Amino acid sequence: MKKFNIPFFLIIFSCFQFTSCSDDDVTVPKPKAYFRLSFPEKKYEKYDASCPFTFEIPSYSKMENDKNANAEPCWLNLNFPSFNGTLHLSYKAVNDNIEGYLQDTYILASKHQIKASGIETQPFSKPKSKVYGLVYEIEGNAASSIQFFLTDSTKHFIRGALYFNAVPNTDSIKPVLTFIRKDIYRLIETFEWKEDDTSNFFAKSMNKKQTGSK
């Protein structure tokens, strides 16, 4: 049988082409690494304060009143201390002006399109509880990754927006976002309006402000 002699330089050339002759001689760039995060067990509790709504929040979160000078009654911040994130919630009473609130919500979500790679919307409807809304999932390096609104279409309207206190980076925040995303959907799914009249609620709120009571 005839033997075929392969020139030595072709063997060397093949090694360079496929980088498989010696692992010691091959330099492979290492992928960018991030700190490994430890996530707590998901446990929820009902949030029920002097506002016309209730919902469930995770035990590892902390609810605070919005301390901004322009904040209105029932503007809340759901903080996630371990993840450096905050879900900002702003409530509005509806008085034949829901179209304006819907338009404002759309505009605020659309502002993130500059740095977003896409925006997906997810409608939500719970007719028995008169809770209707829309979730905006903003992909890419946007400052806010998830926004939503909920309304009964006649009396109540609430908007939520998740922000992280860090430079937006999809790769680094993705694990945290995936974790908190479930909490936001849990909040939406357990959301209920209180039966108290909205005007009575605000009358009580203004009275508390005037008397200085808590």
* Tens-digit pLDDT string for the chain (214 aa): 444 343 433 333 333 333 334 444 545 554 444 445 689 999 999 999 999 999 999 999 999 999 999 999 999 999 999 999 999 999 999 999 999 999 999 888 877 555 555 678 999 999 999 999 999 988 766 667 899 999 999 999 999 999 988 765 666 778 888 999 999 999 999 999 997 655 555 555 555 544 454 4
What one-character DSSP code corresponds to residue 17? H
Cα–Cα distances in Å, from 57 out to 5, 108, 126, 201? 73, 24, 19, 22
H helical segments located in the chain: 8-18, 98-110, 170-189, 198-211
Q: What is the pTM of this model?
A: 0.73
What residue ranges define each of the domains in the chain, with the CATH number in brackets?
Answer: 44-211 (3.40.1000.10)
Neighbouring C-alpha atoms within 13 Å toward the C-beta of 9: 0
